[in-house]
């Protein structure tokens, strides 16, 4: 079974605005790292749709 994730328009706009802001305020590498984090979280949700917000955090 293949899971397809589709970004809602508002979510996609928010993602793009966050990228643009981080790119201007910091460096491109920070913006890219943040976007990669969003993609990684989507992968976690694809594998486990019932994952909580703690799924992307590392335990200390």
Global confidence as pTM: 0.67
Determine contact, residues 54/41, Cβ cutoff 8 Å: no
Give CA separation, 12 vs 4, 15, 17, 28, 57, in Å.
15, 5, 9, 19, 22
Q: What is the mean pLDDT of the chain?
A: 83
The percent of residues in the chain predicted with pLDDT above 70, rounded, is 80
- Chain CA centroid to CA 47, Å: 15
Residue with more model confidence, 41 or 50: 41
What pLDDT is stored for residue 31 in this prediction? 95
Q: How confident is the model at residue 33 (pLDDT cuts 50, 70, 90)?
A: very high
* Confidence band for 30, pLDDT divided at 50, 70 and 90: very high
């Amino acid at each position: 079974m293949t899971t397809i994730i589709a970004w809602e328009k508002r979510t996609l706009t928010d993602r793009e605005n966050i990228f643009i802001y981080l790119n201007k305020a910091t460096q491109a590498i920070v913006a890219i790292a943040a976007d990669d984090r969003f993609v990684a979280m989507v992968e976690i949700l694809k594998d486990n749709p019932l994952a909580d917000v703690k799924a992307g955090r590392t335990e200390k």
